[in-house]
Amino acid sequence: MIIFDNVWFKYGDRDYVLKNINITIKEGEIVCILGDNGAGKTTLLKHINGLLKPSKGEVYVDKLNTKETSVSDLAKKVALVFQYPERMFFTESVWKEVEFALANFGFEEDIRVHRIRKVLNMFWLWEYRDRSPFTLSGGEQRRLAIAIALAWDPKYVVLDEPTAGQDGFQREILIDIIRNIVYREKTIILATHDIEFVFELPECRIIVLNKGEIIYDGSSVELFNNYPELLIEAGLEPPSLSKLIQTLRKEGKYVVFKNYDDAVDKIYNLIKGG
């Protein structure tokens, strides 16, 4: 369990960029942190692996207070994939990049080989295994960073802007992978302003940050069905299907959807029915 208990944070003498954050994340949840540029998403994520410590309040990861726990101890539980993961690569091949992380966590060679094969295949990176990570495209580099984070099977997977630089096909891979991770009962916390991506994920918990404050914490279905104006307030565009459904409601066609596929079906049926 991850707990943010009345957390406030400021960089140096500036204004607070996180204000009164209270969140409890249970094992197996998918939590999407949504917010505009500068809303405080990355700052919040960095509190989970102890890179930043609250100015006021406490953060606990499985009862460990991050103020009293080293970043390397927290790293055994929390894998954080940064917004610009390419900056962290340093070996000469994709294979070695994954292997280094596993060796670092003390895995034996046969387990390392097995895990490297598994994650490189899972992330469609197998054919690049002998290439330098620096020669990969931005989207491939991001997938490699997530693959590395998952290779050692951390309890909490924290992803900062996972879809940045991903085209349609790569986004589909990512959505598939996230569904898979969830299926394996991992906890995922991701920050993004890619609403369309979140809309396509399985039902999840959404936290909307607006200038460092939480203005919504609840289910994605509830948010996209009933509170699109909260997204606008936070400087975000609601998903296009959600907007279309709001327009239909104004026309007297009251559509409620359970998820992305359901929304597509209902709109299709309306069009078909004239």
Ligand X SMILES: Nc1ncnc2c1ncn2[C@@H]1O[C@H](COP(=O)(O)OP(=O)(O)OP(=O)(O)O)[C@@H](O)[C@H]1O
Applying CB under 6 A, does 198 fall inside the site for ligand X?
A: no
- Residue 30 CA to residue 241 CA, distance in Å, equals 22
| Stretch of 40-48, 86-94, 177-185, 218-226 lying at the interface with Mg ion (CB under 5 A) | 40-48
Q: What is the dihedral of CA 23, 24, 26, 28, to 10 degrees?
A: 0
Least distance between ligand X and beta carbon 43 (Å): 3
User: Is-contact 170 178, C-beta < 8 A?
Assistant: no
Measured from the Cβ of residue 37, the count of other Cβ atoms closer than 10 Å reads: 7
Applying CB under 5 A, does 43 fall inside the site for Mg ion?
A: no
Q: Which is nearer to ligand X, 14 or 63 (CB)?
A: 14
Least distance between ligand X and beta carbon 190 (Å): 12
Q: Which is nearer to Mg ion, 195 or 221 (CB)?
A: 195
Applying CB under 5 A, does 192 fall inside the site for Mg ion?
A: no
Helix (H, G, I), strand (E, B) or coil at 184: coil
Helix (H, G, I), strand (E, B) or coil at 61: strand
Least distance between Mg ion and beta carbon 83 (Å): 5
- Residue 211 CA to residue 234 CA, distance in Å, equals 8
Least distance between ligand X and beta carbon 69 (Å): 22
Q: Which is nearer to Mg ion, 61 or 190 (CB)?
A: 190
| Stretch of 32-40, 149-157, 224-232, 244-252 lying at the interface with ligand X (CB under 6 A) | 32-40
DSSP H or E stretch at residue 239: none
Residues binding ligand X: number (CB under 6 A): 13
Applying CB under 6 A, does 17 fall inside the site for ligand X?
A: yes
Q: Which residues have CB under 8 Å from 202's CB, separation 6+?
A: 30, 179, 182, 259
Contact mark string toward ligand X, 33..52, x via CB under 6 A:
--x-xxxxxxx---------
1, 6, 11, 134: which one contacts ligand X (CB under 6 A)? Answer: 11
Q: Which residues have CB under 8 Å from 226's CB, separation 6+?
A: none
User: Is-contact 162 142, C-beta < 8 A?
Assistant: yes
Q: Which is nearer to ligand X, 43 or 166 (CB)?
A: 43
Burial zone of 6 (CB within 10 Å; 0-12 exposed, 13-18 middle, 19+ buried): exposed
Q: Which is nearer to Mg ion, 43 or 242 (CB)?
A: 43
Q: Which is nearer to ligand X, 62 or 217 (CB)?
A: 217
Q: Residue numbers of the site for ligand X (CB under 6 A)? A: 11, 14, 17, 35, 37-43, 83, 193
